[in-house]
Structure 1
């Protein structure tokens, strides 16, 4: 039996705004864990992204802040220009370390820190995008016994990122976008 999951980390890039709208609109309001996301949107205005996502999300969406402890039933978006990490103390940490794969924030950095902090109690989801960010991080999550999820590349708006994740890490579940929220609800919301 899989251990309880403490956090869901997710990453997306090209096509990610639409994908996040669909995913977040379908989540159960009783979701029993926080959702922490890195989304490469090309915009530096994360507050605007949160505002847009709050229009369709069933859960409140916030910009992640230094030293904040993520709460179940909330969505946190990585701020622009900073790597977002989950520390062993359960709090967010922000870093201005060099870009990873030309990105800051980096999906890999978030995923790897979450895997190291939460081990098998971490789940990672890689969705649509035009680079390979997230593939190494998802591999780390799965190596630590965590759950790996990937949007089906065949129906992703841009298939490069989910295809790279599958090639590098494999997945416990690979589903079309419309089926991801129902799966997350079954896994992480009380019956």
Structure 2
């Protein structure tokens, strides 16, 4: 059942984003659109090779108006900072102020994986969480979207028809539904309006 998405300002305390195949280009589009006054943290999982360093934080920092950093264990959550999951660790929300890294088993062959981030964030932020699931070639994210919606949070899923890889958004829609199914341009416009 589709729920009406309320205005962004004052509605959310955190944003989580998950992506896989085709996700780097999609994430650049979205992160570049974030307002410099964004009043919440943004946590990002992009599926990565587990055996080599990631340059995603540096890549995304070039166009994003916010600070972008690779998450470390016990990183402190702060408004207006974009945290990127590092290779070979799951990124988790420990509490409203702290991130954690986990070496738990891969999910759908991925570590970092989207489900652990979304599930842990839903447990902490509940209805004050906004989750975005983008392009990808696995079903990672489906359980996470279900957890977000069950906790009262809001889930936006990229329209499978325009995704570079439709499997992940289509799987999540079939498994858990969404509050909104949006194109990347529509998500960008929504995020641009996210001010204090």
Q: Give TM class, smaller chain.
A: over 0.9
For residues 121-155 of structure 1, what are the alpha-carbon distances to aligned partners after superposition, in whole Å with 9 as ceiling and x for unaligned?
A: 11111001111111110110011000101111110
Residue pairs, 1:76-115, within 5 angstroms: 76-115=83-122
Runs (5+) with no aligned partner, structure 2: none
Given the alignment, which residue of 113, 130, 137 partners 1:130? 137
1:158 Cα deviation after fit: 0.7
Q: Which residue of 1 aligns with 2:13?
A: 6
Task: Please give the TM-score of this superposition, normalised by the length of structure 2.
Answer: 0.90
CA distance in 2: counterparts of 1:24 and 1:10, whole angstroms: 10
1:89 Cα deviation after fit: 4.7
Q: Secondary structure at the match of 2:155?
A: strand
Q: Which residue of 1 aligns with 2:185?
A: 178
Given the alignment, which residue of 37, 46, 50 partners 1:30? 37
- Ranges of 4+ aligned residues in structure 1 off by more than 6 Å: none
1:34 Cα deviation after fit: 0.8
Runs (5+) with no aligned partner, structure 1: none
Q: Secondary structure at the match of 1:117?
A: helix
Which structure would you say has the larger RCO, counting Cα contacts within 8 Å and 6 or more residues apart? Answer: 2
Given the alignment, which residue of 29, 52, 55 partners 2:59? 52
CA distance in 2: counterparts of 1:185 and 1:148, whole angstroms: 17
Q: Secondary structure at the match of 2:44?
A: strand
Q: Which residue of 1 aligns with 2:195?
A: 189
The number of residue pairs the alignment matches comes to: 188
For residues 47-91 of structure 1, what are the alpha-carbon distances to aligned partners after superposition, in whole Å with 9 as ceiling and x for unaligned?
A: x11111111212221101111122111111001111111012530
1:41 Cα deviation after fit: 3.7
Given the alignment, which residue of 149, 154, 176 partners 2:156? 149
CA distance in 2: counterparts of 1:181 and 1:29, whole angstroms: 14
Task: Please give the TM-score of this superposition, normalised by the length of structure 1.
Answer: 0.93
Asked if structure 1 preserves the Cα contact closer than 8 Å seen for 2:131 and 2:154, the reply is: yes
Asked if structure 1 preserves the Cα contact closer than 8 Å seen for 2:135 and 2:165, the reply is: yes
CA distance in 2: counterparts of 1:90 and 1:113, whole angstroms: 13
